[in-house]
Structure 1
């Protein structure tokens, strides 16, 4: 098998079946149509018997290709014996979806389901998509010793971890997922992955890791129909348990990044619900709700995901799901990121927020700074803050808004052009500090100078300023230097 996959990898690379090669061949129109589940433009763009077009039709689009036209050296008979293709009447049809990935390498999964296709098998292995990319963008980029990909699915996170983790363990409850993931890793030239079968942290009981990532089966439904997206746990209990158990498997200084769904329940603040998952973990935490859908939107999304639209069972499944949400008092479902960091502090801090704005990618390049800023803003005493030397973060701009000719602006806004790209309305003192904080002077004397210019009482300003600055430090507008 390994020899077969080595030869197949060589053919894929030689024919240009890479992410750049596929994008160039398809073009913008066909690529956009595929995002809408329309394949006709892509089939037209890959018409003919050239090797790259044939491989795209076979592996990406799932269309049969003539065996006689197969690229030179493609071991069709061996691939059929390995269960990767089927051959009938001189036509070769892919039994799996084989796609090049953004980071390099290849991802192998079950074929993409489209409207009109047969119903999914319960152990269906979904390919890499938007959620996979989101998690890969979120995870910290710092090198680590041991990494765990919990719920690896088709194994795409391993492709991102391989360049920065000395040891990688990947787990999944679905043995078919591990089988296809191993094929993808081999095609990507990645060796030495410790793949284990089991749910949650059972396969790694008693072990600790420097980095844990998980794109878990977070879909919330009345019944677990598909292992790739539903855990069978009640409501959002799987994500809750994942958060609560993760710290037991983090090394000192370790970090866990995961995607999750959570319920919005009538009479309950979702921040309290999800924040409660992190309470008692002993870790610093950062929860970001990136999107929220009403119950009907949510049900429609996941019925489309399984190509249920237009089938006889669609209305019944839709009604059952909505009825279950109604019985549970659900008003919406949130989606977002959860990050845990074992900082070793006896005073862990958890930030829970809603933020749907566009961010600089990858978040993993600066996620450690985000966690550090939240911790500093929470833990630093007023005296220590007044003695520190704040620095305005790179890329922060000031906007002044008001009537033309007015002596004072009606509103002052600080706006980040990098990182999370937040914006915040500030007062004149914070705006003045933004203009002078370069790390050369402690905050206390700067406030005294501002008080002299504005006519405020210096003692009063020193007392008020730390509380006003903490949110700006936590959100990355100011960095703190204690030197």
Structure 2
């Protein structure tokens, strides 16, 4: 394509075909509807035939436009050049895109196969999906620390590379689907990114022997009876692909390296899902943190992915739905969990694994503080009781206290510590923990502070000192307190 991607990028930016430009052009109502995959308000909002409206219709909405209205700019690619490159189809004065070209929040652009909507032809098996909510979630999760070498495993249309660019010195991207790599390269070129080492293959096969400071993956995690689409299903049984991804990742982490991935896992009758996912992490030699952000029953899950492929209302819908549910029933599946997993090669001989369910809103990006979360979890686990009593504890920034009880009551019925930043957790605490929250600022060891609290409350100092570590350890792990090193 020579310099066509560069000239196309210049045209897109000049026309205002960016995230902010599209939102402003559409307005809140049409933009909100488009986020729900409803196109009618956006079509109405772009009916004037202006340059930006025409690009939105052509590249995002995927409807034919008048060839004379397609902007080219002083040096932008012509319709003929776009057609020769296979990006559009021109016929009888009308131009139709053959790909989906979307602006992304990094300021770059992504090329994928056209969005599939009800009534469209069935997806091709090697369909390359565009960026969406899962892509954004992974980008928000990844650590913001600079990285020497980074790996985007299962790059798809190349979205994570747009986020890694400028943060990592070297970027490798893999995918099992050669068409995905083809479109990803185009995404990077239009976004002004070069030097990405793109390799084809499944799991970690393309990077055997390589180690990375940062690994990110939005893998084909969908759990189904058969792998019909490479972008979402691996073909491995049940949730084995995610399990294998977790187990193999540590072999490709440099010392101190981190892996972030999205995953689905089964909820099976008679089994605690925490044991299932925790079993994936145990034995990796890495510190691990797995969070279930959502869970769906089998019917909800099947409906989600049938909608994803625009298969609702098609002749095969009932058959696909029934077969999928029958398979779940045979596997004793009661639900499917969605969430994220982080592994860190800390080098510790005593790796820590935390598996939890947390569905409440959190401060974004999680990557801005995910390293502190992992540090808190490991610190709480590894400190002995004696070390904790000698440590100088400090209340974390952004923690507030709420006291709840009848008006005028001498003592509150409930005391709650609440985080106003980060994961925004809340926890009910006792009077001792609340008292510590009010006085610990990192200047004094915990032991003398507990002794002073014991004197005020009339408790036995020895008993309080013996009980406090068990009560405080979860509060440290969850980020309400931290160990001061200043």
Q: How does 1:191-210 map to 2 (within 5 A)?
A: 191-210=194-213
Give the aligned partner of residue 17 of structure 1.
Answer: 17
Q: 1:415 aligns with which of 418, 435, 439?
A: 418
Q: How does 1:123-202 map to 2 (within 5 A)?
A: 123-202=126-205
Where 1:287 maps in the other structure, the secondary structure is strand
Query: Per-residue displacement from partner, 1:383-414 (whole Å, max 9, x unpaired)?
Result: 11111111101111111111111111111000
Where 1:33 maps in the other structure, the secondary structure is helix
Give the aligned partner of residue 481 of structure 2.
Answer: 478
Give the aligned partner of residue 47 of structure 2.
Answer: 47
Give the aligned partner of residue 229 of structure 2.
Answer: 226
Where 2:3 maps in the other structure, the secondary structure is helix
Aligned partners of 1:469, 1:458: CA distance in 2, in Å?
Answer: 16
Aligned partners of 1:463, 1:104: CA distance in 2, in Å?
Answer: 55
Q: 1:78 aligns with which of 81, 98, 120?
A: 81
Aligned partners of 2:343, 2:121: CA distance in 1, in Å?
Answer: 40
Query: Per-residue displacement from partner, 1:2-37 (whole Å, max 9, x unpaired)?
Result: 301111111111111111000000111111221332
1:437 aligned to 2:440? Answer: yes
Give the aligned partner of residue 58 of structure 1.
Answer: 58
Where 2:42 maps in the other structure, the secondary structure is helix
Query: Per-residue displacement from partner, 1:116-139 (whole Å, max 9, x unpaired)?
Result: 111000000000000000000000
Deviation at 1:482, TM superposition (A): 4.4
Where 1:2 maps in the other structure, the secondary structure is coil
Where 2:258 maps in the other structure, the secondary structure is strand
Aligned partners of 1:442, 1:103: CA distance in 2, in Å?
Answer: 45
Q: How does 1:66-465 map to 2 (within 5 A)?
A: 66-73=66-73, 74-465=77-468
Deviation at 1:372, TM superposition (A): 0.2
Aligned partners of 2:195, 2:352: CA distance in 1, in Å?
Answer: 37
Deviation at 1:49, TM superposition (A): 2.2
Query: Per-residue displacement from partner, 1:208-246 (whole Å, max 9, x unpaired)?
Result: 000000000000000000000000000000000000000
Aligned partners of 1:60, 1:216: CA distance in 2, in Å?
Answer: 24
Query: Per-residue displacement from partner, 1:48-97 (whole Å, max 9, x unpaired)?
Result: 22111111100010011111122134411111111110011111100000
Q: 1:103 to 1:174 in 2, by over 3 A?
A: same
Query: Per-residue displacement from partner, 1:346-381 (whole Å, max 9, x unpaired)?
Result: 000000000001000000000000000000000011
Give the TM-score of the pair, scaled to structure 2: 0.99
Deviation at 1:161, TM superposition (A): 0.2
Query: What stretches of structure 1 move > 4 A for 4+ residues in a row?
Result: none
Give the unaligned 5+ runs of structure 2. Answer: none
Give the count of matched residue pairs: 483
Query: Per-residue displacement from partner, 1:311-341 (whole Å, max 9, x unpaired)?
Result: 0100000000000000000000000000000
Q: 2:469 aligns with which of 453, 460, 466?
A: 466
Aligned partners of 1:421, 1:72: CA distance in 2, in Å?
Answer: 48
Give the aligned partner of residue 38 of structure 2.
Answer: 38
Aligned partners of 1:2, 1:447: CA distance in 2, in Å?
Answer: 70
Aligned partners of 2:361, 2:301: CA distance in 1, in Å?
Answer: 22
Deviation at 1:178, TM superposition (A): 0.3
Aligned partners of 1:425, 1:34: CA distance in 2, in Å?
Answer: 41
Aligned partners of 1:378, 1:44: CA distance in 2, in Å?
Answer: 57
Aligned partners of 1:34, 1:319: CA distance in 2, in Å?
Answer: 30
Q: Say if 1:217 and 1:230, in contact at 8 Å, map to a contact too.
A: yes
Give the TM-score of the pair, scaled to structure 1: 0.99
Higher mean C-alpha displacement, 87-96 vs 32-41: 32-41
Aligned partners of 2:44, 2:118: CA distance in 1, in Å?
Answer: 20
Aligned partners of 1:428, 1:35: CA distance in 2, in Å?
Answer: 47
Give the unaligned 5+ runs of structure 1. Answer: none
CA RMSD of aligned residues (A): 0.7
Q: Say if 1:112 and 1:126, in contact at 8 Å, map to a contact too.
A: yes
Q: Say if 1:2 and 1:186, in contact at 8 Å, map to a contact too.
A: no
Q: Say if 1:387 and 1:482, in contact at 8 Å, map to a contact too.
A: no
Higher mean C-alpha displacement, 30-39 vs 304-313: 30-39
